Structure 1
Amino acid sequence: MRENAEKVGVWCIVSMASIPLVMTLGNSMFIPVLPILERKVGISSFQSSMIITSYSIAAIFLIPVAGYLSDRFGRKKVILPSLTLALLGGLIAGFASWKLEAPYTWIIIGRILQGIGASGAFPIVLPLVGDLYKDDDEKTSSCLGIIETSNTAGKVLSPILGSLLAAFLWFFPFFSISIFSFISIILIYFFVKVPKDKNDPIKIKEFLNNTKKTFKSEGNWLFTVFLVGTFVMLVLFGVLFFLSENLEMVHDLMGIKKGFILAIPLFVLCITSFITGRKIKGVLPTMKKIMICCLIVLSVSVCFVGYTSEKLILLLIVTSIVGMAIGGLLPVLDAIVTENIEKEKRGTITSFYSSARFIGVAAGPPIMSLVMNDADAVNISYITAGVLGLLFLLIVIKLIKVEEIEN
């Protein structure tokens, strides 16, 4: 087992980390660009939020399918075609924006295609890490921390890169996803060597029975992790969408300057995610303590986002604290799911977890677009998020039972 872990080279890790980086850029990059899209394409704030949501909705429904296919045929055989679809989706959306007078429909089609590609890319990386490191929980946790850090690094880079590219050509961010996807395809093809599975591929009937049994026996803690994952991404993308619009409308910050400011809370999230991934080392009691602490911090801090919206420094402090809490939660959630599910079921179960996260990504921007014109509604929505966070805290305390999961 240990020998296999040591054979996982640096370029293999870099190749795997490129996938969440590309997929995150493929979504988060458009957050600072949405106000520009609204002006160029002539669409409303709600319509622009659909550019994020359409990508995520496509992924939600197809991630479990991709998870099963990866268990059935192999991780790499699912990841490479998925990245190719993401590449094609970027070309469609970019070409439509460039050449058509009314490109919105084709942009959404391209984004849906990218979402389909995303469903078979980032979610499959999580079980792939578990496959490569076998039963070495410490190295699995460390690598998952790197993967999640790459994901959050994409969030840090995306507002800056998105603003830069849009300043050059407003539709260039669409084409850039195709370029990044192509680079990731090359890296995965040459540097990721998946261990061969000596067992026969699982049949669909057996797969359904195994999945049902897993949720029956492990359902309490699995559904808790799924719910927390959904909540965390809902808060993150809701706050990012709000912050992007707020920086332009209230603080008159646009372009690259806005991108750098938007990256501040995401940078805090990225650093926290990296440190957490290094510290947890597969130790479940430590993971539970981190979840509890982060949920408390997140629940309290998110309540103040709306109240500080007109004071830039305070707003950045509060959103950075929110980012820190989310950065602590994400690698813990990844590790709990990946390390405590058998290899044969890992792709499927982690795909359900990824679907749950995408539900939050899909819901955050449109919810904020509907309430952000009313200051009272914004404050109520963030206080509601804080109350939900405390509710999930109680569920974590009650249903994440360390001894039961370890056994």
Structure 2
Amino acid sequence: MASIPLVMTLGNSMLIPVLPIFEKKVGITSFQSSTIITSYSVAAIILIPVAGYLSDRFGRKLIILPSLVLAFIGGLIAGFSSWKLEDPFFWITIGRILQGMGAAGATPIILPLVGDLYKDDDEKASSCLGIIETSNTFGKVLSPILGSLFAVFLWFLPFFSISFFSLISIVLVFFFIKVPKGKKEEPQPFKQFLKKTKEIFKQEGKWLYPVFLLGAYAMLILFAVLFFMSDILEKTHNIEGVKKGFVLAIPLFTLCVSAFLTGKKIKGDTTVMKWVLVIALIMVSASVIFVGYVNEKLFLLLVVTSILGTAIGGMLPTLDALITEGIEKEERGTITSFYSSSRFIGVAAGPPLMSLLMKEYLNISYIASGALGGLLLFLVLVLIKPEKSGDQTKTA
């Protein structure tokens, strides 16, 4: 299961450090090169809820495997068009859209699958979610390094590598994930599905909406800061290429370790989960406001962003666990898919927002980010109220 978020993270983040090379080789503008990333994310955002609905009705594995095949095919299309065509941009974009569709049908389905496999063991479920988030983050750590290394040999090799990694994940999922056999049910009519989804949001929305906002906020801050660091490391500190990838990996490594340890410690206890979120939001709000002020001092910048990474690493598996353990199995895929869409929105919005704000409003934007974290902290304190039994998340 952990191979899936690893592959999908590599599939997107690995291309970011080599976009300038693509611009020169394909003869495209910076805006066009950015669509290589955004086409992936937009396709995922749109289709994730559909994949969640289908997984609830037809089974997790039955949706995950074809989705991984789509990611495999998308990588081949993007790679071969870059290799063989004189003007490959259109087909690269088609390949990236297919990869985004694959991400939509694979990554968000992992969360409800964990709930299905460990439905009677909250401790194992939380631990597994921590490993999955660690794998996701480990992919972010590897991405800038691997992307730069592959591009040294062939500029279009990152596209083919995505297909290779997807093939490995297909084999692992096919042979090693054994979904428990339950009573087969007829697929729910779509109108009934919409009605049921509305009922869930009406009943559970008080704590679900803050969880969605937290997921979007965490990824927005993470990718905005990474984009800023990537730019500032070259322009201010003259750190480029693979060396820059290793420096970027430092705060991501702290995120990775934090996600793993948090998944081990929360053990299905929603009271603990709430206070992990409270502490993490305090850390995020307190650290993000200093990013702009310390950007010229590399050591201080890495200290601040490492604190930020640690906090976000604590948030991610906690949010996963809240939804996985707070929603019934029949609707879990749908709800986790909406949550995954909110995270993709943060990923897609972070870099372009930072590119617009960092020239004139850098410190103001980070102070505003800290204030937003404070507002979300208030929502967590007021709206996320675990039952005394610790079995399920409830709201005020």
**Short-chain TM bin:** over 0.9
Aligned residues: 390
The within-5 A match list for 1:6-405 is: 16-204=1-189, 205-372=191-358, 374=359, 376-403=360-387, 405=392
Higher mean alpha-carbon deviation, 96-105 vs 26-35, is at: 96-105
Supply the AA of the counterpart residue of 1:49. Answer: S
Taking every aligned residue pair, what percent have the same amino acid on both sides? 70
Relative to structure 1, is the Cα distance of residues 362 and 285 closer, same or farther in structure 2, using a 3 angstrom cutoff? same
Higher mean alpha-carbon deviation, 242-251 vs 18-27, is at: 242-251
TM-score under structure 2 length normalisation: 0.94
Q: Is the 8 A contact 1:272 1:324 kept in 2?
A: yes
Higher mean alpha-carbon deviation, 33-42 vs 76-85, is at: 33-42
Residue by residue over 1:185-237, the C-alpha shift from the partner in whole angstroms, topping out at 9 and shown as x without a partner, is 01111111111220413412332222111111100100110011011111111
Residue by residue over 1:336-393, the C-alpha shift from the partner in whole angstroms, topping out at 9 and shown as x without a partner, is 0001111111111111111111110111122122233x1x322222222111111111
Q: Is the 8 A contact 2:384 2:393 kept in 1?
A: no
Match of 1:7 in 2: none
In 2, Cα distance between the equivalents of 1:196 and 1:28? 36
Relative to structure 1, is the Cα distance of residues 345 and 105 closer, same or farther in structure 2, using a 3 angstrom cutoff? same
TM-score under structure 1 length normalisation: 0.92
Match of 1:13 in 2: none
Relative to structure 1, is the Cα distance of residues 316 and 50 closer, same or farther in structure 2, using a 3 angstrom cutoff? farther
Residue by residue over 1:96-130, the C-alpha shift from the partner in whole angstroms, topping out at 9 and shown as x without a partner, is 22233443333222211111110000100110111
Higher mean alpha-carbon deviation, 335-344 vs 246-255, is at: 246-255
Higher mean alpha-carbon deviation, 37-46 vs 308-317, is at: 37-46
Q: CA deviation at 1:281?
A: 0.3
Q: Is the 8 A contact 2:325 2:393 kept in 1?
A: no
Q: Is the 8 A contact 1:167 1:255 kept in 2?
A: no
Q: CA deviation at 1:94?
A: 1.7
In 1, Cα distance between the equivalents of 2:379 and 2:159? 40
Q: Structure 2 stretches of 5 or more lacking a match?
A: none
Q: Structure 1 stretches of 5 or more lacking a match?
A: 1-15
Q: Is the 8 A contact 1:49 1:366 kept in 2?
A: no
Q: Is the 8 A contact 1:31 1:240 kept in 2?
A: no
Relative to structure 1, is the Cα distance of residues 253 and 38 closer, same or farther in structure 2, using a 3 angstrom cutoff? farther
